[in-house]
Structure 1
Amino acid sequence: MERTRLGLGHSSTYGQACMQCYKAKCRCVPNLSGGGCERCLRLKRDCHPSDSIRRRFAQRTEESDTRIAQLEDKIETLSSAMRSIASSSGSSAEILRLLNEESISSSTSSPKDTPGNSIGTNPSISEGLTPATAPPPMAPANTNPFYPSHYSLSPSNLSPSQAEEYLDFFRSRMLPCFPFINLTPDITAWQLNEERPILFQAIVTVTTFSTEKKLARAEELKRILFTSALLNVQSNIDLLLGLLTYLAWSADAFLGGADLVSRLMMLAISLVYDLRLFKPSPPDVKLMMTITQGRDYENQGDAIEQTVQEFMEKQRAVLACFVLSSNISSHIGRIDTLRWTPQMEEALRVVGMNRSCPTDQAFAFQVRLQLLKHRAAYIREQHEIDCSHTATTSVTASVPGLLYLKTLRGQLHELISSFPPDLHRRNILIIYAQYVDLYINQLAYAISWDSPLLNLSGQRSDDGILPGLERLECLWRSVESIKSWLENFYTISPSELVGLPFHFWSQMILCVTVLKYLLVLEDPAWDCQAVRNTVDLISTMDCMIQRLDLGSKELDLQCDDNLFKLLSNLLSKCRMWAGARSDMASRMQDVDARSCQSADPGAASHNSYIPDLDQMVWMQSMDLESNQWFEDAMGWLTASS
C-alpha cells in the first residue's frame, strides 16, 4: 500500500481510501506517521485498508454485468428468430420448438439464473397469445402486481388469428345486443389480453358455442375468477367485466346451473361495493360535471381523455350489474337485485348523454326498461306484504298497486315513443319493451286476481275503480304484448340471434309459457278462441323453431350441442304437447265441454290462474340436456293445463 508516500494534506488516490472513510464517503488523508488516516485518528477508530473487500465487490459487479449481457443477447436472438419465423411461415410449432431449445440451453449454461429470469421455465408460455405485429412477441406481460402472470395468457390451443376472430365476433355480433363495454375497432386481441386478461378469457368462453367446449373453457375461467376474488381477495374492473360478460352470455341457466349463476352474480355485486362504483369519488364527480356541462374534455390532453374513458367504463359496469342482477333475480331467483341509488341514476344520465360511444344511448334505454320492470316487481313485493297482514285481499287494497302499475305502463309507452328511428339495434329494444309491458300487465292481473272478473252489479268501489274490469283488460293487453314480441322477434336476422344475451331467451320461454296459459284459461268472461285467432300457439312455435334452426346453421355454430339446438328441442316438445291438446279439443267439439269439466273437478282450479312470471319454478331448475327435467317439466305443464 502506497499511502505513506503522500504528503500531508493530500487525499488517497481513487480506490485507496480506508474502510471507514469509504463507508462514510469522506476524504481519506493518510497520516505522515503511517498509523492510518487522519480522520480515523481524530475519531479514535481502527483504520483498515479496503482493497480486498472492494475488489470482491467489483468482481461480483463485473460478473453480474456479464450475466445480464448474456441474457440480453439470448433474448434478442430469440426475438429475432421468432419474428423471422412468424414473418415467413407463422408456424407456432416452430416457435414452440425454439422456445424449448432456448429454455434448455439457458438452464444448462446459466444454472445460477433465477426462475424469473428464465424464459423457458413457465410451461404456460406456449399457450400464450402473441401479437401479429409490434410490439415483439416476447414483450413483458402485464406488470400490474394485482394480476398473476398466467392471467395474461390466452386460452390453450388458441392462435393469434383465432383470438382476433373471437374478439371480432364478440365485438360485432354479441356486444351490440348488450353494449356495456366500449371495445373500439382499433383494440386488438393481444392488447385486450394484456390490459384486461380476465375479460379476454370471458370473451373467448362465451364465443365458444359448442356446449362441451364451452364448459371446458368455463371451468378454466371460473378457476381464475374464484382464485382472484376469493383466494387472492382482489377487486378490480377487469375481474368485474369478466364476470359480467360471462353472466350475460352464459348458458348455465339453461343447463342446470342456476345455483352457479346466482353465486357469480352475488360475487359481481360484491365487487361493485368493493370498488365503490355505486358512490362516485370526488374526481369522478368532477368528470361527471365536465361531461354533463358539455365541455370538450378530448382537447384537454390524453391523460384527461383516458381518465374519462375509465370513468365511463365504471359507470357502464355498475349499470350492467343492475340489469343482470334484476334479470337473474326475476328468472332464476335466489338473489336480490343490486340496490338502485341516486348515484346510479346520475350515472345512467351521463351514459345516456355520452355521444363519444355510439352504443351508449341504446344501452341507457336498456337500463331504463329494466328499471321500470324492477319498479313493477317492487309493487308486487309490497302487495304480498300487505296480503300477509290480512286474511283476504280486499278490493280497495289492490287499487293503489293497480294505479301505480298503470303509471308505470304510461312511462313505458312514453319511453318507447322516445326511441330515435336510427337507434342502434332498435328492434331488440322494442322486443325488450314488449316483455316489460307483458310483465307489468301480468302483475296487474295477479294483484286483482282475488276480485271478481266482472262487477255485474254496476257498483263501483270506494275509489271509483273496477279491479275486475282492470284484470280482464290486463289479460288482453298481455295477448297484444306477446303478439308484438313475436312479430319483432321474426324481424331479427339469424346473424343477430347469435348475439342475444341469456335474459332474452328467458323472455322468449316465458312469453310462450304465458301464451299457453292464456289459451287454456278457464274464466267465464275470457274468450280463449279469440286468443287463438290472435296468436296461434302451434304456428308460433313452428316459426320460432325455424328461426332457431337458421341461427344454428350460422357459419360459426357448426356444432350439434349449441344453445339454439337445445332451445329448439324444448320448443319441439312443447309443440307436441300443444298439438295433442289441439287434437283433443277437435274431438270434443260435439261433446258438452261443461260436463267434461265437471268430470274433472281439478281442471278448473288448474286453469283458472296464471302464475307470476317470477314464480315459474320449472324455469329455475331448467336443464335442457336432462331427459329427466323434460319429463318433469312436460308432466307439470300437462297437469296444469
Structure 2
Amino acid sequence: MDGRGPYGLACMNCFKAKSKCVGRPEGDGCQRCHRLKKQCNPSDSIRRRNSQKAQSSRIAQLESKLDDLFSLLQAVQQPPAPTSTASQTSVTGDHSSSDTSMSLPSSVPPTYHMPADESRNTEESLALFRDTMLRACPFIYLPPTVTAQYLQKERPFFFQAVLAVTTRSMREKRMRAQQFKATLAQATVVENRSSIDLLLGLLTYVAWGYDHFIHSAPTTSRLMQIALSIVYDVHLNKPLPGDHHMMTLLGGKAFCSGSEAPERHSLEEQRAVLGCFLLASVISSYFAQNDPMRWTSQMEDFLRTVEANAEHQNDHALALHVRLQLLAQRAAQVRDEHNGLLPIAFFLTSFRGQLEALRASIPLEHPNKYWLLAHLYYVELSINSTAFLPQGSLESPAGTPSAPSPPNSGSDWERVDSMQGSVKAIKSWMDVFFAFKSTDCMAFTIHLWAQLARSLVTLYRLSTYTEAGWDPEVVCNTVDLLEVVKHTTQKMDHIAGPNPVSDDFWTQVARLGAVIRAWLESQLQRDGNEGMPGWAPSGCSASGTQFPWDMSAELTDSLAYGNETWLQTLSSLPLPGSSMRMPP
C-alpha cells in the first residue's frame, strides 16, 4: 500500500471524480486508476500548493455563471401584458368568454420594444422554428409578419418553449427547461389554468425539447399527459355531453352555452388538437407509458376543416401526418382488440389498401415531401410488424424456442410476407433518411427519432429471427445497419461543425453516435461478423474508427455506479475524427 485511502489523501483522478481512492497491494497507484488505465498521481502536495489558486478560479467561475443566469433571466422575462383582444379570447378553464377564437393576426402593431441584440437573437430563433422545424410537425401556422416581439407579449409560454428548443447550448437548454417546467407547474397545478398558449408551448417542448436526453429522465410522457389534460379540460377533443350533470357547487365548471361547438373553434385551436393527437399517439407507442389519445367525431371535423381551409402548405402536411398516424394507431388497436387472432391476410389487405390511398394523396412536389414519405414508410413498417409480432417469437433471443402461434394467426407464408414487407419498408425509410440534408436533422422531432429507433430495433430482431421459413440473410442483403449508424453519426457531426464546442447539443449527440458506432465496430471485430446477422452484410467489414475506444471505460464507470453523470462523462470524450465529416 502507498498510504493513500484516508480522506484528503486521494489521488488527483479520484479527487476530481469524488470517488473513493483505494491503494493497490503492489503499491503502484490506486485500484480505480489501474482499472481505468490512468496515471495515478498523489494530490496532497499539489492540492495544498494550488488550493488558493483553485479557490480564486472557482469563485470566478461561479461569478461568471451568475452573470450568465442573470442575463438569461432578463432575456426571457415577460413584459407586462396589457389587456388585448388576443388575451381576452384565450381558452381558460372557466370559459368566461363566449368566443374562443385565437387565430394569430396577419400583422401586429409593435407595442413592446426589445433591446436590439435581444430582438435580433429572438427573431433568429423564431425564423429557425418557423421556416425549418415546423416543416416536420406543423401544428401551428405562424405568418411571416408575426414577430418575436408579438409572441413574447401574446403567447409568452409558447415563445418560452420556442427559445428552449432552438438554443444549441446544453447549459442554456437545461436552464430554460427548468424555467419552462416551473412556469408550467405554477400555471397548471397551482393556478389550474388551461389556455392555447400553454397547449402550444407544451406541444413545442414535447416535440423538440429532447427532455429525456438532456435530463436523462423519462419525463416526456408526463408532459404529454399535461397537454392532454388541457385539451380535455376545455373540451377541444369533444363537446360537453348534453346530459352533463356537473354543479359548480361540487367542483364542476360553468360553460357558456354553445361555446364548445366545433364551428366556434379557431383554426389555431383545431391545428393544436390535431398536433396533440399526433404526438400523443407517437409517444404512447414509443415510451409505452400512457394510452394514445382517442379519436373523436369532433376531431374528425377539425381535420376536415383544416384540409378545406388551409392557410399554408403546412396545413395539408399536418392533415396527412394525422391521417397516417391514425392508420397506424388503428392497426395497433385492432391487433390488441383481437389479441393477435385476426388472420394476417385480412389484416394486411385492409390496412395496406388504406395506406396506398394515402400514398396517392401525397403531392409529388410538396415542400414537405420527405417528411411525409418518412412517416408513410414508418406506418407501412408499423402495419407489417403489427401483423406478425403477435406470433410471439421476435421477442425471444435467437435460438430459443418461440411461443406457439395462435390458431387463426395465419400461415408461415403470410408471416414471412409481413416480415419481408417490414424489411422493405425499413429500406424505403432509410432511403428517405439518407436524402435528408444534415441541417434537416435539426428539425427532427421525437417522432422522427422514434421512427429511426423502431427501424433499427426491428432490423435487429428480424436479423436474429431463426424460425422455419424465414431467412435472416434477407435483412443482410437489404440494409446495412452499421452503415445506417455511421451515416447518422456523420449527419450529427456535420451539424456540430468543423470546430465543435463541447457545450453544443449536436456535439453531444455526435459523441453519443460515435460511442454507438465504435461499440458496433468493436463487436464486429470481436465476433468476426459471426452470430450477428444483419448487423454487417456479406462483404461489409468494420471500417475501423479513429475513436479511442479505451475511453469508454469512463462511461462504463459512470453507469456502473449509478451516478447519472453519463452525459457529462460523454462530454469529456474526444470528438470524432475528421474522417467522419460529410458535405451537407
The answer as to whether partners of 1:225 and 1:239 remain within 8 angstroms in 2 is yes
1:98-497 equivalence runs, <5 A: 127=75, 141=82, 144=87, 159-255=118-214, 258-279=217-238, 282=258, 285=261, 287=263, 311-383=266-338, 386=339, 398-400=341-343, 403-449=346-392, 466-497=410-441
Equivalents in 1 of 2:353, 2:475: separation in Å?
Answer: 24
Cα displacement (A) at 1:482: 1.1
Alpha-carbon deviations, 1:238-279, whole Å to 9, x = none?
A: 111111111111111334555422221111111001111113
In terms of mean alpha carbon deviation, does 160-169 or 180-189 score higher?
Answer: 160-169
SS at match of 1:399: coil
Which residue identity is paired with 2:164? T
Which residue identity is paired with 2:207? A
Cα displacement (A) at 1:560: 3.0
The answer as to whether partners of 2:228 and 2:276 remain within 8 angstroms in 1 is yes
Equivalents in 2 of 1:365, 1:311: separation in Å?
Answer: 20
In terms of mean alpha carbon deviation, does 312-321 or 205-214 score higher?
Answer: 205-214
SS at match of 1:159: helix
% identical aligned pairs:
34
The answer as to whether partners of 1:127 and 1:156 remain within 8 angstroms in 2 is no
Equivalents in 2 of 1:348, 1:265: separation in Å?
Answer: 21
Question: What is residue 483 of structure 2 aligned with on the other side?
Answer: 539
Which residue identity is paired with 2:452? M
Kindly indicate whether residue 507 of structure 2 is the aligned counterpart of residue 552 of structure 1. no
TM-aligned CA distance change 1:189 to 1:361, over 3 Å: same
Kindly indicate whether residue 421 of structure 2 is the aligned counterpart of residue 514 of structure 1. no
In terms of mean alpha carbon deviation, does 515-524 or 539-548 score higher?
Answer: 515-524
Equivalents in 1 of 2:113, 2:355: separation in Å?
Answer: 43
TM-aligned CA distance change 1:375 to 1:501, over 3 Å: same
Equivalents in 1 of 2:177, 2:512: separation in Å?
Answer: 24
Equivalents in 1 of 2:120, 2:297: separation in Å?
Answer: 44
Equivalents in 1 of 2:129, 2:183: separation in Å?
Answer: 21
Cα displacement (A) at 1:435: 1.1
TM-aligned CA distance change 1:286 to 1:488, over 3 Å: closer
Cα displacement (A) at 1:499: 1.1
The answer as to whether partners of 2:262 and 2:301 remain within 8 angstroms in 1 is no
Cα displacement (A) at 1:409: 2.2
Equivalents in 2 of 1:124, 1:435: separation in Å?
Answer: 39
Cα displacement (A) at 1:167: 0.9
Alpha-carbon deviations, 1:164-190, whole Å to 9, x = none?
A: 111111111111211111100001111
TM-aligned CA distance change 1:574 to 1:160, over 3 Å: closer
TM-aligned CA distance change 1:432 to 1:587, over 3 Å: closer
The answer as to whether partners of 1:398 and 1:448 remain within 8 angstroms in 2 is no
TM-aligned CA distance change 1:330 to 1:468, over 3 Å: same
Larger Rg: 1
Equivalents in 2 of 1:484, 1:173: separation in Å?
Answer: 23
Equivalents in 2 of 1:567, 1:125: separation in Å?
Answer: 27
TM-aligned CA distance change 1:399 to 1:230, over 3 Å: closer
TM-aligned CA distance change 1:164 to 1:558, over 3 Å: farther
Equivalents in 1 of 2:279, 2:181: separation in Å?
Answer: 18
The answer as to whether partners of 2:438 and 2:495 remain within 8 angstroms in 1 is yes
Equivalents in 2 of 1:233, 1:538: separation in Å?
Answer: 49
SS at match of 1:625: helix
In terms of mean alpha carbon deviation, does 322-331 or 401-410 score higher?
Answer: 401-410
Cα displacement (A) at 1:321: 0.9
Equivalents in 1 of 2:123, 2:530: separation in Å?
Answer: 60
Question: What is residue 105 of structure 1 aligned with on the other side?
Answer: none
Equivalents in 2 of 1:585, 1:564: separation in Å?
Answer: 31
TM-aligned CA distance change 1:445 to 1:140, over 3 Å: closer
Cα displacement (A) at 1:206: 0.7
The answer as to whether partners of 2:347 and 2:387 remain within 8 angstroms in 1 is no
Cα displacement (A) at 1:506: 2.1
Cα displacement (A) at 1:462: 9.4
Equivalents in 1 of 2:73, 2:475: separation in Å?
Answer: 61
Alpha-carbon deviations, 1:5-56, whole Å to 9, x = none?
A: xxxxxxxxxxxxxxxxxxxxxxxxxxxxxxxxxxxxxxxxxxxxxxxxxxxx
SS at match of 2:375: helix
Which residue identity is paired with 2:474? A
The answer as to whether partners of 2:343 and 2:410 remain within 8 angstroms in 1 is no
TM-aligned CA distance change 1:158 to 1:328, over 3 Å: farther
Equivalents in 2 of 1:212, 1:126: separation in Å?
Answer: 16
Equivalents in 1 of 2:282, 2:113: separation in Å?
Answer: 30
TM-aligned CA distance change 1:222 to 1:624, over 3 Å: same
TM-aligned CA distance change 1:550 to 1:177, over 3 Å: same
Equivalents in 1 of 2:354, 2:113: separation in Å?
Answer: 45
Equivalents in 1 of 2:515, 2:457: separation in Å?
Answer: 13
TM-score after normalising by structure 1: 0.59
Q: Flag the structure with higher helix content.
A: 1
The answer as to whether partners of 1:362 and 1:424 remain within 8 angstroms in 2 is no
The answer as to whether partners of 2:270 and 2:306 remain within 8 angstroms in 1 is yes
Equivalents in 2 of 1:128, 1:544: separation in Å?
Answer: 34
Equivalents in 2 of 1:546, 1:358: separation in Å?
Answer: 31
SS at match of 1:182: coil
Equivalents in 1 of 2:432, 2:530: separation in Å?
Answer: 35
1:490-505 equivalence runs, <5 A: 490-505=434-449
SS at match of 2:342: helix
The answer as to whether partners of 2:135 and 2:314 remain within 8 angstroms in 1 is yes
Equivalents in 2 of 1:547, 1:124: separation in Å?
Answer: 30
Cα displacement (A) at 1:410: 2.1
Cα displacement (A) at 1:406: 3.4
SS at match of 1:534: coil
CA RMSD, Structure 1 to Structure 2 (Å) = 3.6
Question: What is residue 389 of structure 1 aligned with on the other side?
Answer: none
The answer as to whether partners of 2:235 and 2:260 remain within 8 angstroms in 1 is no
Cα displacement (A) at 1:625: 2.2
Kindly indicate whether residue 572 of structure 2 is the aligned counterpart of residue 572 of structure 1. no
The answer as to whether partners of 2:341 and 2:407 remain within 8 angstroms in 1 is no
SS at match of 2:341: helix
Unmatched tracts of structure 1, length 5 or more = 1-122, 131-137, 288-306, 387-396, 452-460, 590-621, 629-641
Cα displacement (A) at 1:588: 6.1
Equivalents in 2 of 1:242, 1:157: separation in Å?
Answer: 25
Q: How many pairs align?
A: 419
The answer as to whether partners of 2:262 and 2:298 remain within 8 angstroms in 1 is no
Equivalents in 2 of 1:268, 1:561: separation in Å?
Answer: 30
Equivalents in 2 of 1:563, 1:229: separation in Å?
Answer: 29
